[in-house]
Amino acid sequence: MSRNYSSRKRILVTGGAGFLGSHLIDVLLGQGHELLCVDNYFTGTRDNIAHLRGHERFEFIRHDVTFPLYVEVDEIYNLACPASPVHYQHDPVQTTKTSVHGAINMLGLAKRLGARILQASTSEVYGDPAIHPQTEDYWGNVNPIGPRSCYDEGKRCAETLFFDYHRQHALEIKVMRIFNTYGPRMHPSDGRVVSNFIVQALKGEPITIYGDGQQTRSFCYVDDLVRGMVLLMESPADFTGPVNIGNPGEFTILELAEKVIAMTGSRSELIREPLPADDPKQRQPDITLARSRLGWEPSVALDQGLERTIAYFRATLDL
């Protein structure tokens, strides 16, 4: 049974030293909860949680979720997994293990404790989508043997495990499909398009456009994303998801590059590179379900979010 004795919960966040995890922990601490942050520092960093050192309700454990973890908590947010192509393709076997073994271990922990558990899934489960925008009932168009498959199929398998634990063991689950998210604490060399463009622009380096730049993405500011994540965790038990959380505003990669150049005052030139294998041509969430069941929609416009993110990178890179 869950050990929750009051409105204050003890909450486990795996991948808590990462970009999303550290912002989530800040919000949950602000709500008065106790936080247990678990990370192996593969892509997360000490800097992301340095401001929490000494906080009376924050605890850190260095641990890899592919191994079992024995702790006592009320809720689990499972965010552990490298999320950018540069990082998840570095060791693709380990990426798949993190998604699959990590899900098994965290689900087993949740089952033992009777704890509610949320899976940070991804829009990558839709692959290179044949429908646009993407709704949660779309099964996806994913290459199971390509260079991105370790992440795409790992996350798809994790969703399978979550729903099987829900059906077989009546476990309370929440599955959230995250679309492109950006903001402060992104890793400057994680290979994601927003951080890539901002860092290149601030350094005056050429900005790399893959393909013709007409592929589209939808960019959600981190504060909006985390708010949606917490609302999903707190939603009624019968609402399991999956639910899309992302900003439905759609921009071409070329539009983003031109916007970043203008906002940074950079003189960077655009250079073209071949499109990577299995790179989706379109990505835009249908957030009808999030609006109707969670009362959620993003509130931070792209220009406003980029302004904050550019300021972060100027300060951290001393540019």
**Closest Cα to residue 121, out of 153, 86, 87?**
153
Is-catalytic flag, 151?
yes
**Closest Cα to residue 244, out of 188, 198, 288, 207?**
288
Query: Of these residues, 77, 88, 126, 151, which one is catalytic?
Result: 151
Find out whether 107 and 160 touch, Cβ atoms under 8 Å: no
**CA–CA separation, 47 and 256 (whole Å):** 28
> What residues does 221 pair with on adjacent strands?
182
**CA–CA separation, 178 and 283 (whole Å):** 11
**CA–CA separation, 10 and 57 (whole Å):** 9
Residue 230, burial from CB neighbour count under 10 angstroms (0-12, 13-18, 19+)? middle
**CA–CA separation, 23 and 221 (whole Å):** 11
Q: Which residues are catalytic?
A: 151
